[in-house]
Amino acid sequence: MSRRGLGVIALILGGILGLSVVGCTSEDTSIDLADTGEVISCNNAAFVYAKRANSSQDMSVAEEYLDAIAKNEGHFFGVVADGDPWAFDVQLASDESNGRRKAKAIEGLKAEKILGGDWNARTEEVDLFAAICEADRRLSSFSAEGNRNVLVIIDSGISTAGLINFTEESTREALLEPEVLISTLRESGDLVKFENIDEVIWFGLGETSGEQASPNQGTTKAMEYFYRALFEAAGVEGGITFRPGSGAAPTEGVPSVSAVDMPRIAYDSENDRPMRLGDNVEFDELKSDGAIKFDYDSDALADESAAREALKDHINQLIDFPTLKVVVNGYTDTAGDASYNLDLSQRRANAVKALMVDAGVPESQITAVGMGEDATYETDEQNRRVEIVLG
pLDDT in tens, 221-264: 999 999 999 999 999 988 999 999 998 887 788 888 999 999 99
Q: Give the chain's mean pLDDT.
A: 87
Per residue in 98-116, pLDDT (tens digit) is: 888 888 988 898 889 898 9
| pLDDT score, position 386 | 95
Helix, strand and coil content of the chain, in percent to the nearest 5, comes to: 35, 20, 50
What pLDDT, on a 0 to 100 scale, did the predictor assign at position 27? 43
**Separation of alpha carbons 390 and 367, rounded Å:** 11
Span between the terminal Cα atoms of the chain, in Å: 64
pTM of the model: 0.86
Give strand pairing partners of 281. 388
Show the CA angle centred on residue 128, arms to residues 124 and 130, nearest 5°: 95
Quote the pLDDT of residue 39: 55
Angle of CA points 318, 372, 376, to nearest 5°? 90
Residue 15: predicted pLDDT: 38
DSSP state of 237: T
More confident residue, 37 or 303: 303
Segment 191-220 mean pLDDT: 94
On the CB side of 149, how many CA atoms lie within 13 Å of its CA? Answer: 24
C-alpha–C-alpha distance, residues 186 and 179, integer Å? 10
pLDDT attached to residue 188 = 96
